[in-house]
């Protein structure tokens, strides 16, 4: 301590470290600025001036699938938003399905049943070794688009129409009382949270934790059903699809492009998630399992109470990477005709000639999506990690 | 701790060295560029003064003559083409490019080098084509590209001439009973991404108040494939492409091209802004093929005509009189080479789209003005 105090600041290790970091940061910034200047000046030499004004111009093209209303008279910025929402929807559903399937296969991979075990291993090896683009093109061009034409659509009870125009299922159309019903569902959510909190508190007090999730869900469902019965007019009327003219009308229609993208991404990423899950479960020491068995826990309890809580710590960080990969891989949608962010931006930049600006926007938005995903997963990781006392 | 510090410093030093090295080479390069510009200017003066024999030397704008110089130094022309549209730009199974657009690449190479084979074909997608031209990756873009005002101005590119007058059409299945755009209401239409076609479709459907769903692919083969599988009710593209595509669907007889023209689509070569000499070379190469047809000069009879002609216009055209070629920065036999080695417009058209091809596309507006078409070349004199 004495010596450190007498050291001059230019020999102080902490100062030097700070200096090195600042110098490095400055170098990186200088390099980025140099690259940016280089780009702008070379574009200016060609008479192209960087500007984002094209975003407020009329798009003058149509987009096949849009979650918010969109016509050719809307702006390029809105077209961009349409693409972004499509990407978010496909990625979100892809992540949900990939996680469910991945956990299932990961657990199956560790099954003592030889057939289940080998089937899971086969699945993982097949999907991990096919390039995603190849798989998507096969999946779309070889499966979804080969479904029968609308006129010869496969009709399942419901009625559900399956054709190469997509899958149409009956779907609820909001009526006048639907807004009120959303409010009731909100109340149901609050009730569920209160129930969960109360049960958890009781669990801490008595040392016997009840099935919190189950009871909370049940509370929510009770409110939801009661609300439906109490309202004089049902909040949703059933809209049944039918074949009319060139396509099916009514109900909820999922296009083959969307279906191929979401299922393709989910199937592919599930193989990686399965390996992550397997690694996580195998990381739980054998003694824990033996101890749980000695306590008389059955197979399901063993997984839920002992193995999974500990495995999560190992699983979550690589799982985050898989989620990010899936989101970024969704840009392959352009190859199978789904209007995601990248595909729509491609059209915008071709119509306006603003390649650099569009590329900056695309990269920025994907970065933002990835950062938000990471943030959420890191928060979750903090929650499940080992709490040391 | 000090070891860590040392490694950070070592990394920093390496990084700085790299940076210096990079900037170092960059500065050297910039100096070189400046130098070459100086040299270029002098070269232009020394070449043009004796060649133009006393004519006043125009003040060369920046970039003037640079493209030709680059092409000549390289020894090949890099031509941005399509590789998937039979009749215009198509890469066959033997690895050869053919088509109307490809023949114009060959014509430019013939004018510059006297050898139509000195072309490097660079297949570009509809989406990347203008970027490829802007960045200098290709010298000229001849890829069934529609001449529009926004492309001519905003993209810093220049369209030089129209080599094919086209119009957007719509292909449907015969058994669908669709006869006009209104018949497609509620249907799905396959279209290529990043094209004027995509915009025109939206405009025309809005004008006819028809609701439809576009299905957009990046690759023409995917568009045609999805249509052929029945994923779409209609397939819209320029009529020339539809005609070519109809020959490749599973049963061509089941499909029909509707009698509607949704747009004007003048297709032609595109060059960058800033090099007027290069613009002239490409433009007059196109006009030379028109002129050849107007004068009745073909690759078969050109040598006879050259030996016997007394017509001053033909003599100027073939470089026997005047110095048209030198004014372009080329040899005086530039037009002779184009006609002799590639052919006049009629020959190029017949070779790629005429009666002996599977397309058998009538010339319509693409006939010479002498036959009631739109092709008209300014005089070469």
- Res. B17: pLDDT tops 70: no
Q: Which residue has the higher pLDDT, B160 or A42?
A: B160
Q: A213-222, A245-254, B104-113, B178-187 — which is least confidently predicted?
A: A245-254
Contacts of B1 in chain A (CB under 8 A): 13
Tell me whether residues B216 and A249 touch, CB distance under 8 A: no
How does pLDDT run across B339-359, given as a tens digit for each residue? Answer: 999 999 999 999 998 888 888
Among candidates A13, A17, A346 on the partner chain, residue whose Cβ is nearest the Cβ of B194: A346
Q: How far is CA B208 from CA A45, A246, A278, B213, in A?
A: 43, 18, 58, 15
Query: Which structure tokens are listed for B167?
Result: 């119009």
The whole-angstrom separation of Cα A197 and Cα A216 is 9
Asked if the Cβ–Cβ distance from B194 to A347 is below 8 Å, we say yes
Give contacts of B184 with chain A, Cβ < 8 Å. Answer: 246
Residue among B154, B188, B217 whose CB faces A353 most closely: B154
Among residues A255, A254, A270, A253, the alpha carbon closest in space to that of A135 is found at A270
How confident is residue A276, by pLDDT bands cut at 50, 70 and 90? very high
Q: Write out chain B residues lying below 8 Å of A13, CB-based.
A: 1-2, 5
CA-nearest residue of chain A to B223? A337
Read off the pLDDT of residues A180-191 as tens digits, 9 standing for 90 and up. 888 888 988 999
Only one residue has tokens 């061009």, namely A141
Nearest to B339 by CA among B282, B373, B291: B291
Cβ pair A13:B1 closer than 8 A: yes
How far is it between the farthest Cα atoms of chain B? 93
* Closest CB to A355 among B1, B131, B213: B131
Contact B194 A350 (CB under 8 A): yes
pLDDT-derived band of residue A258, with 50, 70 and 90 as boundaries? very high
Chain B: give the shortest CA distance to residue A143, in Å. 11
Confidence of residue B25 (pLDDT cuts 50, 70, 90): very low
Tell me the C-alpha distance between A39 and B128, whole Å.
18
Q: Which residues of B touch A14 (CB under 8 A)?
A: none
What is the distance between the terminal CA atoms of chain B, rounded to a whole angstrom?
A: 82
Partners of B219 on chain A (C-beta within 8 Å) are 335
Please calculate the CA angle A289-A292-A296 and round it to the nearest 5 degrees: 135
* Two tokens, residue A100: 């469910």
Give the number of A-B residue pairs with CB atoms closer than 8 Å: 127
pLDDT at res. B43: 40
Q: Best residue in B23, B24, B157, B230 to probe A by mutation, most A CBs within 10 Å?
A: B230
Top mean-pLDDT range of A158-162, A172-176, B185-189: B185-189
Query: Per-residue DSSP letters for A265-302?
Result: HHHHHHHHHHHHHHHHHHTS-HHHHHHHHHTT--HHHI
CB B281 within 8 A of CB B330: yes
| Mean predicted lDDT score pLDDT of chain A | 87
Using the beta-carbon criterion (under 8 Å), do B186 and A164 form an inter-chain contact? Answer: no
Task: Point out which residues pair with B119 in neighbouring strands.
Answer: B77
Q: Which CB contacts under 8 angstroms, 24+ apart, belong to A286-294?
A: none
Min Cα separation B247/chain A (Å) = 21
pTM score, two decimals?
0.71
Residues of B in contact with A349 (CB under 8 A): 127
Pick from A261-275, B134-148, B249-263 the range whose average pLDDT is largest.
Answer: A261-275
Model pLDDT, residue B12? 55
Over residues B273-289, mean pLDDT? 94
Contact A353 B151 (CB under 8 A): yes
* Domains observed in chain B: 66-165+267-371 (3.40.190.10), 168-263 (3.40.190.10)
Stretch A40-47: mean pLDDT, rounded? 77
Q: Do B216 and A72 touch (CB under 8 A)?
A: no
Q: What is the mean pLDDT of residues B51-79?
A: 67
Beta-carbon separation of B155 and A146 below 8 A: no
Chain A partners of B212 at a C-beta cutoff of 8 Å? 62
Distance CA B216, CA B194 (A): 9
Q: Do A334 and B212 touch (CB under 8 A)?
A: no
pLDDT digits (tens, 9 = 90+) for B259-272: 888 888 899 999 99
Question: From the list A20, A63, A72, which residue is nearest B8 (CB)?
Answer: A20
A368 to chain B, closest Cα gap in Å: 25
Angle between helices B334-341 and B276-295 (to 10 degrees): 60
Compute the nearest-CA separation of B322 from chain A (Å). 35
CB atoms within 10 A of CB B211: 12
- Asked if residue A217 has pLDDT above 70, the reply is yes
Q: Tens of pLDDT along A326-349? A: 999 999 998 898 999 999 998 888
What pLDDT, on the 0 to 100 scale, is given for residue A43? 77
Domain boundaries, chain A: 2-42, 76-170+240-384, 172-239
Cα–Cα distances in angstroms (integers) from residue A112 to residues A107, A116, A117, A118, A273, in the given order: 10, 8, 7, 10, 20
Q: Please give the pLDDT value at position B381.
A: 82
Predicted confidence at residue B5, as pLDDT, reads 53
Count CB atoms within 10 A of the CB of residue A170.
Answer: 15
Q: What is the ipTM of this complex?
A: 0.75
Q: For residue A141, give the nearest of B205, B213, B225 by CB distance.
A: B225
Judge whether residue A117 has pLDDT over 90: yes
Look at residue B31 and tell me whether its pLDDT is greater than 70: no
**A23: confidence class by pLDDT, cuts 50, 70, 90:** very high
The predicted model gives A76-93 an average pLDDT of 94
Give me the pLDDT at residue B22, please.
Answer: 45
- Residues A5-25 as b/e (b if ≥16 CB within 10 A, e otherwise) read eeeeeeeeeeebeeeeeeeee
Q: What is the pLDDT of residue A28?
A: 95
Task: Among 3.40.50.2020, 1.10.540.10, 1.10.3720.10, 3.40.5.50, name the CATH number for the domain at A76-170+240-384.
Answer: 1.10.3720.10
* Res. B56: pLDDT tops 50: no
Residue B28 has pLDDT above 50, yes or no: no
Alpha-carbon distance A356 to nearest alpha carbon in chain B (angstroms):
10
pLDDT in tens, B302-352: 999 999 988 999 999 999 988 888 889 999 999 999 999 999 999 999 999
Task: Output the pLDDT for position B124.
Answer: 93
* Contact: A17, B8; criterion CB under 8 Å: yes
Position A4 pLDDT exceeds 80: no
Which among B184, B214, B218 has CB closest to A62?
B214
Q: How far apart are CA A41 and CA B147, in angstroms?
A: 27
Subunit contact B5:A16, Cβ cutoff 8 A: yes
pLDDT at A232: 77
The alpha-carbon gap from B215 to the nearest alpha carbon of chain A, in Å, equals 6
Residues on chain A touching B216 (C-beta within 8 angstroms): 64, 337, 339, 343, 347
B196-230 per-position pLDDT tens digit: 788 889 999 999 999 899 999 888 888 998 999 88
What percent of chain A stands above pLDDT 70? 97
Is the pLDDT reported for residue B300 higher than 70?
Answer: yes
Identify the closest residue of chain A to B156 by CA–CA distance. Answer: A47
For residue A355, give the chain B residue with the closest CA.
Answer: B131
């Amino acid at each position: 301590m004495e010596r450190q105090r007498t050291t001059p600041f230019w020999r102080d290790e902490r100062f030097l470290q700070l200096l090195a970091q600042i110098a490095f940061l400055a170098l990186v910034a200088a390099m980025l600025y140099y690259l940016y200047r280089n780009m702008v000046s070379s574009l200016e030499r060609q008479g192209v001036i960087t500007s984002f004004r094209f975003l407020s111009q009329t798009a003058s093209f149509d987009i096949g699938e849009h979650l918010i209303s969109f016509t050719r008279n809307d702006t390029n910025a809105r077209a961009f938003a349409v693409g972004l929402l499509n990407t978010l929807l496909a990625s979100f559903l892809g992540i949900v399905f990939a996680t469910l399937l991945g956990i299932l296969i990961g657990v199956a991979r560790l099954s003592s049943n030889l057939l289940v075990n080998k089937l899971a291993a086969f699945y993982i090896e097949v999907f991990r070794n096919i390039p995603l683009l190849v798989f998507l093109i096969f999946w779309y061009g070889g499966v979804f688009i080969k479904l029968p034409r609308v006129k010869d659509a496969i009709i399942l009870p419901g009625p559900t129409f399956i054709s190469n125009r997509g899958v149409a299922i009956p779907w609820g159309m909001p009526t006048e009382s639907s807004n009120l019903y959303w409010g009731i569902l909100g109340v149901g959510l609050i009730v569920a949270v209160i129930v969960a909190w109360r049960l958890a508190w009781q669990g801490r007090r008595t040392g016997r934790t009840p099935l919190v999730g189950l009871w909370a869900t049940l509370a929510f469902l009770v409110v939801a059903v009661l609300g439906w019965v109490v309202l004089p007019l049902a909040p949703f009327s059933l809209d049944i699809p039918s074949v009319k003219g060139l396509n099916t009308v009514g109900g909820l229609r999922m296009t083959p492009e969307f279906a191929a993208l979401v299922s393709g991404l989910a199937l592919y990423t599930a193989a990686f998630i399965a390996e992550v899950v397997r690694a996580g479960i195998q990381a739980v020491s054998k003694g824990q399992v033996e101890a749980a068995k000695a306590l008389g826990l059955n197979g399901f309890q063993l997984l839920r109470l002992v193995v999974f809580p500990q495995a999560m710590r190992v699983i979550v960080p690589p799982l985050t990477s898989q989620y990010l990969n899936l989101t970024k891989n969704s840009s392959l949608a352009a190859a199978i005709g789904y209007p995601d962010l990248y595909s729509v931006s491609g059209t915008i930049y071709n119509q306006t000639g603003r390649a650099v600006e569009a590329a900056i926007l695309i990269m920025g938005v994907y970065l933002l999506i990835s950062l938000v995903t990471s943030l959420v997963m890191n928060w979750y990781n903090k929650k499940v990690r080992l709490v040391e006392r | 701790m000090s070891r860590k510090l040392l490694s950070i410093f070592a990394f920093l030093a390496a990084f700085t060295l790299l940076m210096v090295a990079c900037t170092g080479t960059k500065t050297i390069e910039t100096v070189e560029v400046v130098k070459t510009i100086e040299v270029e200017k002098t070269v232009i003066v020394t070449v043009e003064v004796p060649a133009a024999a006393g004519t006043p030397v125009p003040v060369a704008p920046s970039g003037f003559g640079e493209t030709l110089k680059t092409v000549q130094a390289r020894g090949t022309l890099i031509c941005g083409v399509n590789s998937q549209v039979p009749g215009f730009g198509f890469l066959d199974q033997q690895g050869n490019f053919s088509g109307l657009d490809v023949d114009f690449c060959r014509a430019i190479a013939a004018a510059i080098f006297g050898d139509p084979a000195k072309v490097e074909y660079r297949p570009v997608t509809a989406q990347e084509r203008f970027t490829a031209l802007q960045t200098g990756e290709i010298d000229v873009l001849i890829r069934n590209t529609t001449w529009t005002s926004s492309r001519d101005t905003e993209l810093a590119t220049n369209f030089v001439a129209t080599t094919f007058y086209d119009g957007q059409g719509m292909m449907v299945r015969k058994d669908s009973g669709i006869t006009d755009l209104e018949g497609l209401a509620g249907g799905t239409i396959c279209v290529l991404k990043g094209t004027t076609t995509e915009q025109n479709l939206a405009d025309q459907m809005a004008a006819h108040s028809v609701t439809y769903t576009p299905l957009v692919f990046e690759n023409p083969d995917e568009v045609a494939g999805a249509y052929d599988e029945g994923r779409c009710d209609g397939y819209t593209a320029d009529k020339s492409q539809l005609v070519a595509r109809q020959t490749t669907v599973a049963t061509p007889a089941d499909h029909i091209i509707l009698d509607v023209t949704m747009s004007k689509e003048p297709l032609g070569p595109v060059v960058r802004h800033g090099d007027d000499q290069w613009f002239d070379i490409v433009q007059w190469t196109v006009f030379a093929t028109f002129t050849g047809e107007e004068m009745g000069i073909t690759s078969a009879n050109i040598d006879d005509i050259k030996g016997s002609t007394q017509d001053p216009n033909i003599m100027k055209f073939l470089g026997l009189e005047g110095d048209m070629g030198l004014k372009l920065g080329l040899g005086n036999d530039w037009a002779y080479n184009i006609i002799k080695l590639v052919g006049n417009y009629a020959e190029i058209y017949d070779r790629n789209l005429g009666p002996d091809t599977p397309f058998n596309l009538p010339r319509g507006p693409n006939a010479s003005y002498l036959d009631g078409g739109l092709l008209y070349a300014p005089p070469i004199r």
